[in-house]
Chain A
Amino acid sequence: MFKRLYKKVEELRPLFAEGGKLHAFHSLFDGFDTFLFTPSTPAGKVGAQIHDGKDSKRTMIMVVMALVPALLFGMYNVGYQHFLATGELVRGSVTCDLFWKAFGFGFLAVLPYILVSYIVGLGIEFTVAQWKKEEIQEGFLVTGFIIPLIVPIDTPLWMVALAVAFAVIFAKEVFGGTGYNIWNVALIARVFLFFAYPTHMSGDSVFVRTSGTWGWDEGKTLVDGFSGATPLGQLATTSDATLIPVDFWTAFNGLIPGSVGETCCWAILLGACLLLTTGVASWKTMLSVFAGGAITAWLFNAFGPDTAIAHLPWYMHLVLGGFAFGAVFMATDPVTSARTETGKWIYGFLIGVVAIVVRVLNPGYPEGMMLAILLMNTCAPLIDWCVVQSNINKRMKRSQKKEVAL
């Protein structure tokens, strides 16, 4: 069967080759060709004649798979929060019917974001690959999957499309494509939305879908006293310095308002397990983000100002907001992270520190993870420079010692 498929692909190949009728779509053809069949390109004349089976496609697909639990739970949570708001569902009593109804609603609500993200992003990638006569790079498979997971569910689709286009073009392609970008592309999309359309990105009404989706469940009245504020949003606005909006296990389970993929810690943990066992993400970065966050939050607990967010127990910081999601999926992005092993410890730790500092000390932003990761993306080359410089200094000292001895 595969042989026949292969023959078919080979028959089509001349159409897309230089001078063929469909040459303008050769990057698309190449994309599908290498998707279907691992290229049989032999190794170069000199150098390693055998190669390991892993390639960029396999690494990227591992990250996508790791994101799936967070996505599925996120879909369910979108429906759950919606029906909670309309009063159709009461916390703690979910029947099987309601479960599927909530999941179905969330699925339909999230699906357009995934489609828009992939269509816009991959469209740009395909065009650029065609233009630069390069192969299509797989980086956007992950980026395009993450973007729907880190935006509020009420963001208008055109904004997402605009943000994706901005991020792919100005944060990636102008630098040269996957592997050359300085900042995490998905976060650039989010930060674009955050500063261009601030009213749609924070507040009490954006994290819960109160209207319907695809015409389903439109125009329902909301229950009395409904508030769609995220726990971190509540903490940022409250005047009660002892407020703890949710308990640890509720936050860990993730049936709370928030961006689609960020709420459920066990789903993120499942993804983390996959990333760490396959070795795609660095355990050093991941662990040090959590360590940095925990230590900083604990310091605020002990010595911080008299505000609710500073009093929030340190372990709550790690399960609320985008902290876990950022630590597992975004801080570990190898391209924008520190690239030396020592650098990864420092880089991760500082992300944790900065995220909590922004949360506690900045009155404007309830969440600090996005800014922390972007800031450390910027600093990562500096961290690497220092680490590599110590190796260089050692070598210089060694050769100077030699000169003195002579």
Chain B
Amino acid sequence: MQQIELKRGLDIPLEGEAVRTIGSVRRPKVFHIVPSHFEGITPKLNVKEGDTVLAGGVVFHDKKFEQMNFTSPVSGKVVAIVRGERRKVLSIDIESEETIRYESFDVKEDLRSLLLKSGLWCLIKQRPYDCIALPNKEPKAIFISSFDTAPLAPDYNFVLNGQSNQLQCAISALKTIAPVYVGLDKKADSSSMFKNLKDCTLYEVKGVHPAGNVSVQINHISPVNKGETVWTINVQDAVLIGRLLTEGKVDMHKIVALTGPMVREAQYYNVLPGISVKELLQGNVYSEVPCTYIAGNALSGHQVSLDDAISIYDNQYTVIDSGVETHEFMGWLLPRFSEFHSDRTDPATFLDNCMTRSLFGKKEYKWDGRLKGGLRALIMSGEYDKVFPMDIYPEQLVRAMIANNIDRMEQLGAYEVAPEDFALCEYVCTSKLPLQAIVRKALDYMKSEIE
């Protein structure tokens, strides 16, 4: 088995890890399907108000690739189509039936057309551009990372417990399209369900975050060259595909980890996409201070409001103190004893390293959502390199991205990266640059110019 050892990176000791229990969420009446969850597509509606859909029934499709469907998680009646400016579809609201009726699919069908038809195609992402896989491109390989090293990330060994069958089924089917590679965590114990997967190439990754990021693994195993396409699938999403192949129906139930220092009882929940964030939280949050609700992890997620719907991509929600009520006196000068430091510019780090850790063991840190500084031009050098374990110059690539210089981006490896790979760079950046937003914008621009 191939081994990858990563020297660079950083683990962030955020508190509020989900305990290994699965809570239940009351199924709400109305589900929201939000087209903007699917980046890079233009929705064309297949339903109108009053129509009835089955779970797995088409709600809308992409304007460019018409065969790419997006389907409903539940069966029921379309009660509202909410539109915004210029009639943009904001959400399609479906009133759920008591028992979900599923549309049945013929699993003997060609995998590509089955996935496109069933609405699960959107779970396949691709490098370059980190977008939904373009159906007109042939991938050279399919990568699945079986673990996530982001702060408080769900433990997929727990999440997918008992579903190895479906995962294996998905991998065996995907193998007919391109060779499948599955990344294993070196730290995982031998009982890990992923070690026994067949029909794929397994490799082990040793290192701290972002070792679990699939781009990092691709960069070390089979880097994406110009003109090549690599597919990536989140491991839980692969199970959804497996479920379709074994049961012939689209069952979008996912296990989502609710985590973070502001969550009272952090644990896992079995949910259907389309419910609102409020319903997932159910008041399970400390409310003394204003909170930031994050879809995803604290490093690469995005803020959501309580009324937003949970998307099919979500595996984790994080709640942290937003920090807007924290007014820190001379934070740039005084030592911060309760904060985690990625380097040694804070005198508290010394005391932290010498005393607290040896005397009291693991220390608990205080976290909030402030930037803790003003936006500046790039000043410090070499900061990004320390947390970017790929054979790419991150700072130079970001500069090319800011300058919208496509040739230079191409040369510097923009085909190999996704915004999440820059999450740690953004965390450590002294100049507080919004790197992931910059990368997202640049990749979209590149896609629009090249494709």
Contacting residues, chain A, for B303 (C-beta < 8 A): 43, 45-46, 49
Q: Say yes or no: A47 contacts B226, CB within 8 Å.
A: no
Q: Say yes or no: B436 contacts A48, CB within 8 Å.
A: yes
Q: Say yes or no: B341 contacts A53, CB within 8 Å.
A: yes
Interface flags, A338-376, vs B, CB<8A=1, else 0: 111100100000000000000000000000000000000
Q: Say yes or no: A279 contacts B343, CB within 8 Å.
A: yes
Q: Say yes or no: B343 contacts A51, CB within 8 Å.
A: no
Interface flags, A178-213, vs B, CB<8A=1, else 0: 111000000000000000000000000000000000
* Closest partner residue, chain A, to B377 (CB atom): A179
Contacting residues, chain B, for A62 (C-beta < 8 A): 345
The size bracket of the interface on A is 35 or more
Does B374 count as interface, using CB distance less than 8 angstroms? Answer: yes
Contacting residues, chain B, for A132 (C-beta < 8 A): none
Interface residues of B in 98-146 (CB under 8 A from A): none
How long is the Cα–Cα vector from A338 to B225 in the complex, in angstroms?
A: 28
In angstroms, how far is the closest chain A Cβ from the Cβ of B30? 25
Q: How many A-B residue pairs have CB under 8 A?
A: 224
Provide 7 A-B residue pairs closer than 8 Å at the C-beta atoms, listed in order of the A residue: A6-B327, A38-B372, A39-B372, A44-B437, A52-B428, A280-B380, A341-B385
Interface of B is mostly: loop
Q: Say yes or no: A40 contacts B379, CB within 8 Å.
A: no
Among B226, B325, B377, B385, contact of A399 (Cβ-Cβ < 8 Å): B226
The size bracket of the interface on B is 35 or more
Q: Say yes or no: A178 contacts B376, CB within 8 Å.
A: yes
Q: Which residues of B contact A (CB under 8 A)?
A: 12, 14, 151, 223, 225-228, 292, 294, 298-303, 318, 320, 322-333, 336, 339-346, 367-382, 385, 391-393, 395-396, 411-413, 419, 423, 426-432, 434-437, 440
How long is the Cα–Cα vector from A37 to B413 in the complex, in angstroms?
A: 40
Interface centre among A38, A282, A338 (most CB of B within 10 A): A38
Does A130 count as interface, using CB distance less than 8 angstroms? Answer: no
Contacting residues, chain A, for B370 (C-beta < 8 A): 38-43, 51
Q: Say yes or no: A47 contacts B426, CB within 8 Å.
A: yes
List 7 tightest A-B contacts by C-beta distance, closest first. Answer: A55-B373, A179-B377, A38-B331, A399-B225, A57-B332, A47-B436, A339-B381
Contacting residues, chain A, for B340 (C-beta < 8 A): 52
Q: Which residues of A contact B (CB under 8 A)?
A: 2-3, 5-6, 34-59, 61-62, 135, 137, 139, 176-180, 277-280, 282, 334-335, 337-341, 344, 384, 388, 391-392, 394-396, 398-399, 402
How long is the Cα–Cα vector from A44 to B385 in the complex, in angstroms?
A: 23
Q: Say yes or no: B373 contacts A57, CB within 8 Å.
A: yes
Contacting residues, chain B, for A338 (C-beta < 8 A): 381
Q: Say yes or no: B379 contacts A58, CB within 8 Å.
A: no
* Closest partner residue, chain B, to A9 (CB atom): B327
Given A47-B426, A50-B14, answer yes or no on A180-B377 (Cβ-Cβ < 8 Å).
yes
How long is the Cα–Cα vector from A322 to B63 in the complex, in angstroms?
A: 67
How long is the Cα–Cα vector from A139 to B431 in the complex, in angstroms?
A: 12
Q: Say yes or no: A46 contacts B341, CB within 8 Å.
A: no
Contacting residues, chain B, for A44 (C-beta < 8 A): 434, 437
Q: Say yes or no: A46 contacts B374, CB within 8 Å.
A: no
Among B302, B345, B373, contact of A46 (Cβ-Cβ < 8 Å): B302
